[in-house]
Chains A and B, each alone.
Chain A
Amino acid sequence: MSSVSLSEDQRDCYQELTNVAMGQAADRLARLLDAYVVLPVPKVNLIESSELHMAIQDAEADAAVSAVCQGFIGAGIAGEAMLLFNDTSFSDLATLMNYPGMNNPESLDREAELELLMDVSSLLIGACIQGIGEQLEIHFNQGHPVVLGQHCLAGDILKSGNHQWTKTLAIEIHYTLEHVNIDCDLLLLFTEDSVEKLNNVIDFLLD
Protein backbone atom coordinates (compact mmCIF):
# COMPACT_ATOMS: atom_id res chain seq x y z
CA MET A 1 0.00 0.00 0.00
CA SER A 2 2.93 2.27 0.53
CA SER A 3 3.92 2.10 -3.11
CA VAL A 4 1.80 5.03 -4.28
CA SER A 5 3.85 7.58 -6.10
CA LEU A 6 3.48 10.57 -8.37
CA SER A 7 5.63 11.24 -11.43
CA GLU A 8 6.24 14.72 -12.80
CA ASP A 9 4.01 14.00 -15.81
CA GLN A 10 1.23 12.81 -13.54
CA ARG A 11 1.54 15.87 -11.32
CA ASP A 12 1.39 18.12 -14.38
CA CYS A 13 -1.72 16.33 -15.55
CA TYR A 14 -3.48 16.63 -12.16
CA GLN A 15 -2.57 20.30 -12.13
CA GLU A 16 -4.03 20.90 -15.57
CA LEU A 17 -7.24 18.95 -14.82
CA THR A 18 -7.63 20.96 -11.61
CA ASN A 19 -6.86 24.17 -13.44
CA VAL A 20 -9.80 23.58 -15.78
CA ALA A 21 -12.16 22.48 -12.99
CA MET A 22 -11.30 25.37 -10.69
CA GLY A 23 -11.75 27.74 -13.60
CA GLN A 24 -15.29 26.45 -14.08
CA ALA A 25 -15.97 26.87 -10.36
CA ALA A 26 -14.48 30.37 -10.38
CA ASP A 27 -16.64 31.31 -13.35
CA ARG A 28 -19.76 30.37 -11.39
CA LEU A 29 -18.60 32.30 -8.33
CA ALA A 30 -17.64 35.32 -10.45
CA ARG A 31 -21.08 35.40 -12.04
CA LEU A 32 -22.81 35.00 -8.67
CA LEU A 33 -20.84 37.80 -7.01
CA ASP A 34 -20.19 39.92 -10.09
CA ALA A 35 -16.49 39.99 -9.22
CA TYR A 36 -13.24 38.65 -10.63
CA VAL A 37 -11.74 35.56 -9.02
CA VAL A 38 -7.94 35.38 -9.06
CA LEU A 39 -6.82 31.92 -10.11
CA PRO A 40 -3.50 30.61 -8.84
CA VAL A 41 -1.63 27.50 -9.93
CA PRO A 42 -3.09 24.61 -7.92
CA LYS A 43 -0.67 22.68 -5.71
CA VAL A 44 -0.61 18.92 -6.09
CA ASN A 45 1.19 16.80 -3.51
CA LEU A 46 1.30 13.28 -2.18
CA ILE A 47 1.46 13.69 1.58
CA GLU A 48 0.94 11.85 4.85
CA SER A 49 -2.50 12.70 6.14
CA SER A 50 -0.91 13.58 9.47
CA GLU A 51 0.89 16.34 7.59
CA LEU A 52 -2.25 17.79 6.10
CA HIS A 53 -1.61 21.20 7.60
CA MET A 54 1.52 21.36 5.46
CA ALA A 55 -0.62 21.18 2.34
CA ILE A 56 -1.88 24.60 3.19
CA GLN A 57 1.10 26.73 2.38
CA ASP A 58 -0.75 29.92 1.68
CA ALA A 59 -3.16 29.96 4.57
CA GLU A 60 -1.56 30.46 7.91
CA ALA A 61 -2.27 27.78 10.46
CA ASP A 62 -3.31 30.42 12.96
CA ALA A 63 -5.87 32.09 10.71
CA ALA A 64 -9.45 31.98 12.03
CA VAL A 65 -11.59 30.00 9.60
CA SER A 66 -14.94 28.33 9.20
CA ALA A 67 -14.78 25.00 7.42
CA VAL A 68 -16.97 22.55 5.57
CA CYS A 69 -16.12 19.14 4.20
CA GLN A 70 -17.96 16.95 1.74
CA GLY A 71 -17.15 13.42 0.64
CA PHE A 72 -17.35 12.18 -2.93
CA ILE A 73 -17.14 8.78 -4.54
CA GLY A 74 -17.32 7.29 -8.03
CA ALA A 75 -15.75 4.48 -10.06
CA GLY A 76 -13.88 3.20 -7.03
CA ILE A 77 -12.31 6.57 -6.38
CA ALA A 78 -13.12 8.32 -3.13
CA GLY A 79 -12.08 11.41 -1.35
CA GLU A 80 -13.24 14.51 0.36
CA ALA A 81 -13.31 18.16 -0.42
CA MET A 82 -12.65 20.64 2.34
CA LEU A 83 -13.31 24.35 2.17
CA LEU A 84 -11.54 26.59 4.67
CA PHE A 85 -13.15 29.99 4.55
CA ASN A 86 -11.30 32.87 6.13
CA ASP A 87 -13.51 34.48 8.79
CA THR A 88 -12.53 37.98 7.74
CA SER A 89 -14.23 37.31 4.39
CA PHE A 90 -17.81 37.14 5.64
CA SER A 91 -18.72 40.81 5.66
CA ASP A 92 -17.61 41.42 2.06
CA LEU A 93 -19.30 38.20 0.97
CA ALA A 94 -22.58 39.26 2.59
CA THR A 95 -22.39 42.61 0.84
CA LEU A 96 -21.69 41.09 -2.58
CA MET A 97 -24.51 38.59 -2.16
CA ASN A 98 -26.93 41.35 -1.13
CA TYR A 99 -27.65 39.29 1.92
CA PRO A 100 -31.26 39.97 2.98
CA GLY A 101 -31.61 42.36 5.89
CA MET A 102 -27.89 42.96 6.01
CA ASN A 103 -27.71 46.69 6.33
CA ASN A 104 -24.77 46.32 8.58
CA PRO A 105 -22.51 43.47 7.50
CA GLU A 106 -20.51 43.84 10.72
CA SER A 107 -23.39 42.38 12.66
CA LEU A 108 -23.60 39.05 10.86
CA ASP A 109 -24.52 36.36 13.32
CA ARG A 110 -23.24 32.78 13.30
CA GLU A 111 -26.35 31.50 11.60
CA ALA A 112 -26.11 33.97 8.74
CA GLU A 113 -22.44 33.17 8.35
CA LEU A 114 -23.25 29.49 8.21
CA GLU A 115 -25.73 30.06 5.42
CA LEU A 116 -23.19 32.04 3.40
CA LEU A 117 -20.55 29.40 4.05
CA MET A 118 -22.84 26.61 2.83
CA ASP A 119 -23.78 28.56 -0.30
CA VAL A 120 -20.19 29.23 -1.31
CA SER A 121 -18.91 25.78 -0.40
CA SER A 122 -21.60 23.90 -2.28
CA LEU A 123 -20.93 26.03 -5.35
CA LEU A 124 -17.13 25.72 -5.27
CA ILE A 125 -16.94 22.09 -4.16
CA GLY A 126 -19.70 20.94 -6.50
CA ALA A 127 -18.26 22.66 -9.58
CA CYS A 128 -14.71 21.49 -8.86
CA ILE A 129 -15.60 17.84 -8.23
CA GLN A 130 -17.89 17.67 -11.25
CA GLY A 131 -15.31 19.49 -13.37
CA ILE A 132 -12.60 16.97 -12.55
CA GLY A 133 -15.05 14.09 -12.94
CA GLU A 134 -16.15 15.21 -16.40
CA GLN A 135 -12.58 15.31 -17.65
CA LEU A 136 -11.88 11.84 -16.26
CA GLU A 137 -15.27 10.58 -17.43
CA ILE A 138 -16.16 9.59 -13.89
CA HIS A 139 -19.42 10.53 -12.25
CA PHE A 140 -18.78 11.48 -8.63
CA ASN A 141 -21.62 11.21 -6.15
CA GLN A 142 -21.37 13.79 -3.42
CA GLY A 143 -22.23 13.17 0.21
CA HIS A 144 -23.82 15.65 2.57
CA PRO A 145 -21.72 18.63 3.53
CA VAL A 146 -20.53 18.63 7.13
CA VAL A 147 -19.56 21.74 9.05
CA LEU A 148 -16.19 21.09 10.67
CA GLY A 149 -16.26 24.24 12.72
CA GLN A 150 -16.85 27.96 12.85
CA HIS A 151 -14.25 30.45 14.01
CA CYS A 152 -11.57 27.82 14.52
CA LEU A 153 -7.87 27.85 13.83
CA ALA A 154 -7.05 26.42 10.41
CA GLY A 155 -4.28 24.33 11.93
CA ASP A 156 -6.64 22.73 14.47
CA ILE A 157 -9.20 21.83 11.82
CA LEU A 158 -6.61 20.09 9.69
CA LYS A 159 -5.21 18.20 12.65
CA SER A 160 -8.62 17.00 13.79
CA GLY A 161 -9.34 15.01 10.64
CA ASN A 162 -10.12 11.39 11.42
CA HIS A 163 -8.73 9.87 8.25
CA GLN A 164 -8.48 6.14 7.84
CA TRP A 165 -5.76 6.35 5.24
CA THR A 166 -2.18 7.40 5.69
CA LYS A 167 -1.02 8.77 2.34
CA THR A 168 -3.27 11.15 0.50
CA LEU A 169 -3.19 12.99 -2.79
CA ALA A 170 -3.83 16.58 -1.81
CA ILE A 171 -4.78 19.30 -4.26
CA GLU A 172 -4.87 22.80 -2.87
CA ILE A 173 -6.58 25.73 -4.53
CA HIS A 174 -6.31 29.14 -2.96
CA TYR A 175 -9.09 31.38 -4.21
CA THR A 176 -9.00 35.13 -3.74
CA LEU A 177 -11.20 37.85 -5.18
CA GLU A 178 -9.98 41.00 -6.84
CA HIS A 179 -10.64 44.27 -4.99
CA VAL A 180 -12.52 42.66 -2.08
CA ASN A 181 -11.43 40.86 1.03
CA ILE A 182 -12.56 37.31 0.34
CA ASP A 183 -10.24 34.35 0.43
CA CYS A 184 -10.62 30.66 0.97
CA ASP A 185 -8.75 27.41 0.50
CA LEU A 186 -10.25 24.44 -1.24
CA LEU A 187 -8.56 21.13 -0.53
CA LEU A 188 -9.32 18.00 -2.52
CA LEU A 189 -8.07 14.91 -0.73
CA PHE A 190 -8.07 11.52 -2.40
CA THR A 191 -7.73 8.35 -0.36
CA GLU A 192 -4.60 6.26 -0.63
CA ASP A 193 -6.51 3.43 -2.35
CA SER A 194 -7.86 5.84 -4.92
CA VAL A 195 -4.51 7.23 -5.96
CA GLU A 196 -3.47 4.11 -7.84
CA LYS A 197 -6.76 4.01 -9.75
CA LEU A 198 -6.59 7.71 -10.45
CA ASN A 199 -3.03 7.37 -11.70
CA ASN A 200 -4.19 4.67 -14.12
CA VAL A 201 -6.82 6.98 -15.54
CA ILE A 202 -4.26 9.77 -15.75
CA ASP A 203 -1.74 7.51 -17.51
CA PHE A 204 -4.37 6.70 -20.07
CA LEU A 205 -4.85 10.42 -20.75
CA LEU A 206 -1.10 10.93 -20.94
CA ASP A 207 -0.54 8.07 -23.35
Chain B
Amino acid sequence: MTTKVLICDDSSFARKQMKRALPPEWEVDVSFAGDGVEGLEQIRQGNGEVVFLDLTMPNLDGYGVLEVIRKEDLPAMVLVVSGDIQPDAQERVRKLGAMAFIKKPIDADKARTVLTEYGILTEA
Protein backbone atom coordinates (compact mmCIF):
# COMPACT_ATOMS: atom_id res chain seq x y z
CA MET B 1 0.00 0.00 0.00
CA THR B 2 1.39 3.39 -0.97
CA THR B 3 1.72 5.94 1.81
CA LYS B 4 1.11 9.62 1.09
CA VAL B 5 4.07 11.55 2.43
CA LEU B 6 4.28 15.31 2.68
CA ILE B 7 7.58 17.15 3.13
CA CYS B 8 6.98 20.65 4.45
CA ASP B 9 10.05 22.91 4.63
CA ASP B 10 10.81 26.38 3.28
CA SER B 11 14.28 25.33 2.11
CA SER B 12 14.38 23.47 -1.20
CA PHE B 13 17.71 21.98 -0.14
CA ALA B 14 16.14 20.65 3.06
CA ARG B 15 13.20 19.17 1.12
CA LYS B 16 15.59 17.40 -1.22
CA GLN B 17 17.70 16.15 1.69
CA MET B 18 14.57 14.82 3.39
CA LYS B 19 13.33 13.02 0.29
CA ARG B 20 16.74 11.40 -0.20
CA ALA B 21 16.71 10.15 3.39
CA LEU B 22 13.49 8.15 2.93
CA PRO B 23 14.03 4.37 2.90
CA PRO B 24 14.20 3.27 -0.77
CA GLU B 25 11.93 0.27 -0.24
CA TRP B 26 9.16 2.33 1.36
CA GLU B 27 6.30 2.73 -1.11
CA VAL B 28 5.46 6.40 -1.00
CA ASP B 29 3.82 9.15 -2.95
CA VAL B 30 5.74 12.30 -2.00
CA SER B 31 4.32 15.84 -2.09
CA PHE B 32 6.11 19.05 -1.12
CA ALA B 33 5.12 22.29 0.56
CA GLY B 34 7.22 25.43 1.01
CA ASP B 35 5.44 26.86 4.04
CA GLY B 36 2.78 26.05 6.61
CA VAL B 37 -0.14 27.38 4.60
CA GLU B 38 0.75 25.22 1.59
CA GLY B 39 1.35 22.34 3.95
CA LEU B 40 -2.13 22.52 5.45
CA GLU B 41 -3.66 22.70 1.96
CA GLN B 42 -1.89 19.49 1.01
CA ILE B 43 -2.91 17.79 4.26
CA ARG B 44 -6.57 18.77 3.71
CA GLN B 45 -6.33 17.26 0.22
CA GLY B 46 -5.24 14.02 1.81
CA ASN B 47 -1.60 14.21 0.69
CA GLY B 48 -0.11 14.06 4.16
CA GLU B 49 -0.76 10.77 5.87
CA VAL B 50 2.81 11.11 7.13
CA VAL B 51 4.17 14.66 7.37
CA PHE B 52 7.78 15.70 7.82
CA LEU B 53 7.39 19.20 9.21
CA ASP B 54 9.96 21.96 9.64
CA LEU B 55 9.39 24.50 12.44
CA THR B 56 10.84 27.78 11.18
CA MET B 57 8.88 28.75 8.06
CA PRO B 58 7.33 31.93 6.66
CA ASN B 59 3.56 32.61 6.57
CA LEU B 60 2.69 29.84 9.00
CA ASP B 61 5.35 28.05 11.04
CA GLY B 62 5.42 24.45 12.14
CA TYR B 63 3.84 25.21 15.53
CA GLY B 64 0.94 26.87 13.74
CA VAL B 65 0.49 23.86 11.45
CA LEU B 66 0.38 21.53 14.46
CA GLU B 67 -2.24 23.71 16.16
CA VAL B 68 -4.53 23.65 13.12
CA ILE B 69 -4.09 19.90 12.67
CA ARG B 70 -5.15 19.37 16.25
CA LYS B 71 -8.03 21.85 16.16
CA GLU B 72 -9.48 20.47 12.95
CA ASP B 73 -8.54 16.90 13.81
CA LEU B 74 -6.85 16.43 10.42
CA PRO B 75 -5.60 12.93 9.62
CA ALA B 76 -1.83 13.36 9.69
CA MET B 77 1.00 11.70 11.55
CA VAL B 78 3.48 14.51 12.06
CA LEU B 79 7.21 14.02 12.48
CA VAL B 80 8.90 17.34 13.20
CA VAL B 81 12.29 17.76 11.52
CA SER B 82 13.95 20.81 13.00
CA GLY B 83 17.19 22.73 13.29
CA ASP B 84 15.88 24.30 16.49
CA ILE B 85 16.70 21.48 18.87
CA GLN B 86 16.38 23.34 22.19
CA PRO B 87 14.63 21.41 24.96
CA ASP B 88 11.76 23.94 24.90
CA ALA B 89 11.13 23.42 21.20
CA GLN B 90 11.03 19.64 21.59
CA GLU B 91 8.62 19.87 24.50
CA ARG B 92 6.33 22.35 22.76
CA VAL B 93 5.87 20.25 19.60
CA ARG B 94 5.15 17.12 21.60
CA LYS B 95 2.48 18.97 23.56
CA LEU B 96 1.01 20.10 20.24
CA GLY B 97 0.66 16.50 19.16
CA ALA B 98 3.72 15.77 17.04
CA MET B 99 4.61 12.11 17.05
CA ALA B 100 8.37 12.53 16.98
CA PHE B 101 11.11 15.10 16.92
CA ILE B 102 13.99 14.55 14.52
CA LYS B 103 17.09 16.73 14.78
CA LYS B 104 18.42 18.20 11.56
CA PRO B 105 20.45 17.41 9.57
CA ILE B 106 18.33 14.46 8.53
CA ASP B 107 19.97 11.34 7.13
CA ALA B 108 18.84 7.89 6.03
CA ASP B 109 19.71 6.23 9.35
CA LYS B 110 17.75 8.74 11.44
CA ALA B 111 14.73 8.49 9.13
CA ARG B 112 14.73 4.69 9.19
CA THR B 113 15.10 4.54 12.98
CA VAL B 114 12.18 6.89 13.62
CA LEU B 115 9.89 5.35 10.99
CA THR B 116 10.55 1.89 12.38
CA GLU B 117 10.18 2.98 15.99
CA TYR B 118 6.70 4.35 15.37
CA GLY B 119 5.60 1.39 13.27
CA ILE B 120 5.20 3.48 10.13
CA LEU B 121 7.76 1.41 8.32
CA THR B 122 7.32 -2.30 8.91
CA GLU B 123 9.87 -4.91 7.95
CA ALA B 124 8.78 -6.64 4.79
Interface residues of A (CB under 8 A from B): 9, 12-13, 15-16, 19-20, 22-24, 26-27, 30-31, 36-37, 39, 41, 135, 205-206
| Complex interface: chain B residues within 8 A of A26 (CB) | 84, 86
> CA A22 – CA B56 in complex, angstroms?
13
In the complex, which residues of chain B have a beta carbon less than 8 angstroms from the beta carbon of A20? Answer: 83, 104-105
Inside 8 A of A135's CB, which chain B residues have their CB? 105
**Residues on the B chain within 8 Å of A12, using CB:** 11-13
Contact flag A19-B11 (CB < 8 Å), given A39-B56, A41-B56, A135-B105: yes
Bound: A23/B105 CA distance, A: 11
Complex Cα distance, B89 from A206, in Å, reads: 28
Known: A19-B104, A31-B86. 4 other contacts (CB 8 A): A12-B11, A30-B86, A36-B86, A39-B83
B87, A23: Cβ atoms under 8 Å?
A: no
- The smallest C-beta distance from A136 to any residue of chain B, in angstroms, reads 11
Pairs A-B, 6 closest by C-beta atoms: A23-B83, A16-B11, A30-B86, A20-B83, A13-B13, A19-B83
Q: Which residues in A have their C-beta under 8 angstroms from that of B13? A: 9, 12-13, 16, 205-206
Contact flag A36-B104 (CB < 8 Å), given A9-B12, A12-B13, A19-B56? no
**Proximity string of chain B (4-30) to chain A, C-beta cutoff 8 Å, 1 when within and 0 when not:** 000000011110110000000000000
Contact with A23, one of B14, B17, B84 (Cβ below 8 angstroms): B84
CB closest residue in chain A, given B86 = A30
Chain B residue with Cβ nearest A23: B83
Cα–Cα, bound, A26→B11 (Å): 20
| Residue with the highest number of chain B CB atoms closer than 10 Å, among A9, A13, A20, A31 | A20
Indicate if B120 sits at the interface (CB-CB under 8 A).
no
B108 CB to closest chain A CB (Å) equals 15
A residues within 8 A CB of B86? 23, 26-27, 30-31, 36-37
Q: How far is the CB of A15 from chain B (nearest CB, A)?
A: 6
